[in-house]
């Protein structure tokens, strides 16, 4: 259902470096690249992500309660995405680990939380068997 998510930035070059690194780990690249807008993903794939300078010319700001969740393939990728985010100007919002209790099938929500250089909140997650 979701085609892509757009996050505002006040520094598109800085955002590009951050999301280029995240996208590379996820196995995708840039789909569109304009002076004020860059989108990452696959044309025939799942939802993509974009960074943009706001159309109205005002400063970008963070949406309170807004978060983009990136589905990882395994716990190692959750860790790599978290490390990539922090090494590319992102900030910590919660180190990788299980969240909550396992469900009746022994599955647990495993996630890491971080912000991009503009303060937009993201996480890397998967549903995984309890280790």
CATH classification at residue 121: 3.10.180.10
Residue 34 forms part of a structural domain: yes
**pLDDT tens for each residue of 1-51:** 688 999 999 999 999 999 999 999 999 999 999 999 999 999 888 899 999
User: Domain residues for 34?
Assistant: 4-48+65-129
The arithmetic mean of pLDDT across residues 64-85, rounded, is 95
Residue 56 forms part of a structural domain: no
The arithmetic mean of pLDDT across residues 39-65, rounded, is 91
| pLDDT, position 63 | 87
Close Cβ partners of 18 (under 8 Å, ≥ 6 residues apart): 85, 88, 89, 90, 116, 117
> What pTM did the predictor assign?
0.88
Residue 55 forms part of a structural domain: no
The arithmetic mean of pLDDT across residues 88-96, rounded, is 98
Residue 58 forms part of a structural domain: no
Residue 59 forms part of a structural domain: no
Only one residue has tokens 């985010």, namely: 85
> Where is pLDDT greater, at 130 or 97?
97
Beta bridge partner(s), residue 112: 124
Q: How far apart, in Å, are the Cα atoms of 59 and each of 30, 34, 37, 42, 52?
A: 24, 18, 15, 29, 11
Residue 57 forms part of a structural domain: no
Number of structural domains (the chain) is 1
The percent helix, strand, coil of the chain (3-state, each to 5) is 20, 40, 40
Residue 114 forms part of a structural domain: yes
| pLDDT, position 1 | 65
Residue 81 forms part of a structural domain: yes
Only one residue has tokens 């997650």, namely: 125
Judge whether residue 131 has pLDDT over 80.
Answer: no
């Amino acid at each position: 259902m979701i085609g892509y998510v757009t996050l505002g930035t006040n520094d598109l070059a800085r955002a590009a470096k951050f999301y280029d690194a995240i996208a590379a780990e996820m196995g995708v690249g840039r789909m569109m690249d304009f002076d004020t807008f860059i989108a990452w993903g696959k044309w025939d794939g799942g939802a993509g992500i974009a960074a943009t300078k706001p159309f109205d010319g005002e400063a970008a700001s963070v949406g309170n309660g807004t978060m983009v969740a990136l589905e990882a393939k395994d716990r190692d990728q959750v860790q790599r995405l978290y490390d990539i985010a922090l090494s590319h100007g992102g900030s910590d919002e919660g180190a990788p680990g299980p969240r909550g209790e396992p469900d009746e099938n022994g599955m647990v929500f495993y996630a890491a939380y971080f912000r991009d250089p503009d303060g937009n909140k993201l996480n890397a997650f998967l549903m995984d068997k309890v280790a």
